[in-house]
Each structure stands twice: as structure tokens, then as C-alpha cells.
Amino acid sequence: MPLPSDRSPDPVSDVMRWGAFSCALVPFVLIISGVSWTGAAGTAAGLAAVTCACRALLRQSERTAARIRVRETGRHRDQRAYMGTTAQGGGRHSEGRTPVD
């Protein structure tokens, strides 16, 4: 199990590097094992398309997670996590009128 200091700062890039490596390695192995060049090229194109789609989905997931983190951080401004009405706003408004006794 990797230590926290061993983690990559950008895990998506690591996944993409392995995907690119696979896109190059699989056709090479297919050609060596006797598959036609056309079949290996088709396999490489399919793997590249899947890798690009996965990259797009991973990046979209990262952006969504970042937006949620920002939204959650902005929502908890008070250290005591008060989310109710405050002096700055919220609560009921009496449209500028005050109660009369």
C-alpha cells in the first residue's frame, strides 16, 4: 500500500499514461502473435478511443468534485457551522413594515 507521500499529485495523468502504454503494447503483442496488421491497427484505434473517452469522463468527474468542494466550503462560513438566519440576511421579511402595538 503506497504511503500518502508516494501518491501522485495527478492520478488521472497516471491512468492516462498506463492507457497510452496499453494502446501501444497490445497491438505490438497482437502482431507478434500472428494477427494481421489491419486487425492490430483496428484494436489500437479502439483502445485509443476508449482511453480518450475515459480521460474525458475522469476530468469531468474531477471538475464536478471540485465544484462540490467549493460549494460546500462556501456554505460553511461560520466556524460553528450555523446555517440558519443571520444578521446579514435570511429569515422572514415584513416588507419594511414593523408591528404596531
Helix pair angle (37-75, 11-32), 10° resolution: 170
Average pLDDT (72-97) is: 57
Cell of 88: 446579514
- pTM, two decimals, is 0.57
At residue 89, the pLDDT reads: 54
Average pLDDT on 51-62 reads 90
Alpha helix positions (H), the chain: 11-32, 37-75
Percentage of the chain modeled with pLDDT above 70: 64
Count CB-CB contacts under 10 A for residue 51. Answer: 17
The grid coordinates of residue 57 equal 469522463
Separation of alpha carbons 49 and 44, rounded Å: 9
